[in-house]
Structure 1
Amino acid sequence: MIPADSVSYSYTQIVDQSHLDDLMHVNNVVYLKWVNDISEKHWDILAGKELKSKYFWVVLRHELDYFREAKLDDELIISTWVGQSQGVKSVRHVEIHKKDTLLLKAASTWCLIDAKTQRPTRIKNDILRILEPEK
């Protein structure tokens, strides 16, 4: 469940034939792609051109918990929000629902990279301001 005090982003995804595996369920690799896709889309929305030219993120770890399957023509809501961010790392959460049913829960650890040096860099206030909700 998205915490009330978070900056979140959601969109709708309709399951099509290309998403399915041999069991006619959404393939695990597709779920992982959706986790990556929404993370990148949310960053694009939050960060302006200047921040995106200075920094980029690389994933260090994905944890996915599958609860139910999705099938052809299901309408899914994919949602994300940022959890703890400190040092060079930030944890991003993703949930995928079909109506009120939770299908997947993911937590991904991302590392902030300085675009100029190509090295990890500490998450500073310019980034924290856009990741954390206004108080």
Structure 2
Amino acid sequence: MSPAIHLFPIEVDPGDIDFMGHVNNASYLKWVQEAVIDHWRAFAPTEAVARHLWVALKHEITYRRPTFLEDQPMAHVVLEKVQGAKAFYQTVIKRGEEVLAEVRSSWCCLDAQTLKPARLARDLIERFIPGGD
């Protein structure tokens, strides 16, 4: 069974616009971080959200089309797999059906108290990925 797509609406702020009149590349990183964290909070139980933090390890972004102030992009977030304390995400930012950017990112789960890497329990992973892998 495939993982579910989590939709995250993005609000383009005037501060996101660069000198060329479209969204600055740095804003995409901000959006992906917000979308992935929203995905975690949407599926994880409250106690798991309180016990774990996520930090980005790597982002690979492919820009397809520019995004403008009047756009209402949507992030389509999929958790592809969890391996140890790492999670691997694919986030596609779209304007309607048009792909604006594709992002592959890896994240590390941390224990909120110790700030050390933490593995997620199998039943928690299955909330995100049916079958757990």
Once residues 111 and 49 of structure 1 are traced to their aligned partners in structure 2, the CA distance between those partners, rounded to angstroms, is 19
Unaligned runs of 5+ in 1: none
Once residues 113 and 43 of structure 1 are traced to their aligned partners in structure 2, the CA distance between those partners, rounded to angstroms, is 13
Which string of whole-angstrom CA distances, capped at 9 and with x for unpartnered residues, describes residues 40-72 of structure 1? Answer: 111111112111122221111111111110112
8 Å CA contact 2:56, 2:108 repeated in 1: yes
Corresponding residue SS for 1:44: helix
After superposition, residues 1-135 of structure 1 pair within 5 angstroms as 5-133=2-130
Judging by fraction of residues, say which structure has more strand: 1
When the two chains are superposed, the root-mean-square deviation of aligned CA atoms in Å is 1.9
Task: Tell me the TM-score normalised to structure 1 length.
Answer: 0.87
8 Å CA contact 2:10, 2:31 repeated in 1: no
Once residues 61 and 76 of structure 1 are traced to their aligned partners in structure 2, the CA distance between those partners, rounded to angstroms, is 22
Deviation at 1:75, TM superposition (A): 2.1
Which string of whole-angstrom CA distances, capped at 9 and with x for unpartnered residues, describes residues 88-113 of structure 1? Answer: 11101111111221110001101111
Deviation at 1:14, TM superposition (A): 4.5
Residue identity over aligned pairs, in percent, reads 30
C-alpha change, 1:115 and 1:12, in structure 2 (3 Å) is: closer
8 Å CA contact 1:16, 1:73 repeated in 2: no
Task: Tell me the TM-score normalised to structure 2 length.
Answer: 0.88
Unaligned runs of 5+ in 2: none
Once residues 50 and 74 of structure 2 are traced to their aligned partners in structure 1, the CA distance between those partners, rounded to angstroms, is 30
8 Å CA contact 2:32, 2:91 repeated in 1: yes
Aligned residues: 132
